[in-house]
Amino acid sequence: MAVNGLNGVNGVNGIHTKSDFSAFKVNQSRLMEHIHDGCQFGAAHRYGDDPTETGMDRLSLNDSDKQVRDWFTKKATAIGCKVTVDEMGNMFAVREGKNKDAPPVMMGSHLDTQPTGGRYDGILGVNAGLEVLRVLADNNYETEGNVGVVNWTNEEGARFPIFAVASGVWADVLPLETAWNLAEVSAGEDGRKRTMKEELTRIGYLGEQKASYRSNPIAAHFELHIEQGPILEAEKRRVGVVTGGQAFKWWDMTIRGRDTHAGTTPFFARKDAMLCAAKLIVESNRVAKKHGGLATTGILTQEPGSINTMAHTVKFTLDIRHNEDEVLKKIEAECQDAFAKIAKEDSEAGCSIEWKELVDSPAVHFHADCIAAVEASADAVCADLPKTAEDGKLWKHMISGAGHDSCYTNRRCPTSMVFAVTKEGVSHNPEEYCSPEDCAVGTQVLLGAVLRYDKQRKF
């Protein structure tokens, strides 16, 4: 398949309005150039000698995030897009179509990363959207309605601990004030934790546009993302057609005990919050595994933090997941019952537990029309590729194990996703990798899906 823009169709004159867009090819070298150009902002964690062999540390709303936002605006306006910013810093770059009043079909993802992130999680999706718009501009193609790219704020939830918080506000699932007042996980050098609103203001991205699907509607949302898992690579397939996502919930857990001397306090007299927390974490894994789900603790802190004193307070995060809402409810209920028993009966003199819910994301079922557009595009793209899979089929239906902004847009507009191959399934890691060929294949599928969906729109 020609994906490098070398087939003579890019840059042709005349306006294309036909439904056959099979000749439109993404420019692989241009796509990769822009991916790595944007990664100059927040590059960190070098693992090789090549200039591109670094990870990323671009936490939401920090200085490098401001730089890449400015970069995004420059790149989008260069191809004729109008860029607007809403109250949550979400950035919408829109290219006009024939019907300029219709809500746009958007390609969305995010540019923020984990503290030890890679160059493709979210970043590929935003750059793929920009590349699709470049191909349309190269070919002077006029879409039926407006199309565009959105950079959603703080998808990772790494700095401000609610995942996809800004798309959640847009979808009217999370209150604006809750998001604005969300404090960062770690304090700054002055010991103070900034809120999202403070940092949006500081970097100049507290937009005037309402963060709401009502005032800023989207006709459909398509997202290209690396799989973040090993399935496509293991099965020698090239594309995942994502039909939905796992249900998951996040909590901040607070365990309170009593700080007493490690050498003089016998076990029967202890209220050891750390020991209690450790048992709870182990129990959450047992319960999740029993039901075929997942449980994870990613953050654990304690006070006072002395080697010969028991912690009086321990805080940890709990993330539980399952494909089915009802099974997730069972995991949650069993954890609550088991946790209460462990704290009261299996923690010597006993500890107390507080649950603070951070995220409740039900199982996601994407829209049939969007899925069909991705399927048709994947069929067309994969037809020209070597048949590497044992059954000859290069794309497969998949359920996303991770949360994405698409999980929130799906509540307010037709949505689907495309997965690209991730080397060894490694993600949230500096060595996260998606080959140039697979980046281009995924972008080609995104292009075809968006144009197919746009072509069938009725106004």
Q: What are phi and psi of 393, to 5 degrees?
A: -95, 120
Which residues pair with residue 86 across a beta bridge? 209
Q: How confident is the model at residue 14 (pLDDT cuts 50, 70, 90)?
A: very low
Residue 201: is its pLDDT beyond 80? yes
pLDDT for position 385: 96
Residue 391: is its pLDDT beyond 50? yes
pLDDT for position 20: 61
Tens digits of residue pLDDT in 109-132: 999 999 999 999 999 999 999 999
**Cα gap 83→92, rounded to integer Å:** 5
Tens digits of residue pLDDT in 341-371: 999 999 999 999 999 998 888 899 999 999 9
Residue 226: is its pLDDT beyond 90? yes
Residue 11: is its pLDDT beyond 90? no
Tens digits of residue pLDDT in 435-455: 999 999 999 999 999 999 999
pLDDT for position 265: 97
Residue 372: is its pLDDT beyond 50? yes
pTM comes to 0.84
pLDDT for position 9: 29
pLDDT for position 13: 32
**CA Rg value for the chain:** 24
CATH no., domain 247-361? 3.30.70.360
SS (H, E, C) the chain: CCCECCCCCCCCCCCECCCCCCCCCCEHHHHHHHHHHHCCCCEECCCCCCCCCCEECCCCCCHHHHHHHHHHHHHHHHCCCEEEEECCCCEEEEECCCECCCCCEEEEECCCCCCCECCCCCHHHHHHHHHHHHHHHHCCECCCECEEEEECCCCCCCCCCCCCHHHHHHCCCCCHHHHHCCECCCCCCCCCCCEHHHHHHHCCCCCCECCCCCCCCCCEEEEEEECCCCHHHHCCCCEEEEEEECEEEEEEEEEECCCCECCCCCHHHCCCHHHHHHHHHHHHHHHHHHCCCEEECCCEEEECCCCCECCCEEEEEEEEEECCHHHHHHHHHHHHHHHHHHHHHCCCCCCEEEEEEEEEECCEECCHHHHHHHHHHHHHHHCCCCCCCCCCCCEEEEEECCCCHHHHHCCCCCEEEEEECCHHHCCCCCCCCCCHHHHHHHHHHHHHHHHHHHHCCCC
**Cα gap 160→319, rounded to integer Å:** 16
Q: What are phi and psi of 123, to 5 degrees?
A: -60, -40
Query: What CATH fold (topology level) applies to the domain 28-246+363-456?
Result: Aminopeptidase (3.40.630)
pLDDT for position 339: 98
Tens digits of residue pLDDT in 36-80: 999 999 999 999 999 999 999 999 999 999 999 999 999 999 999
Residue 320: is its pLDDT beyond 70? yes
Map tokens 């991705």 to a residue: 374
Which amino acid, 240? G
Average pLDDT taken over every residue of the chain: 94
pLDDT for position 217: 98
Q: Domain locations in the chain?
A: 28-246+363-456, 247-361
pLDDT for position 402: 86
Residue 311: is its pLDDT beyond 80? yes
Residue 15: is its pLDDT beyond 90? no
Tens digits of residue pLDDT in 289-304: 999 999 999 999 999 9
**Cα gap 26→24, rounded to integer Å:** 7
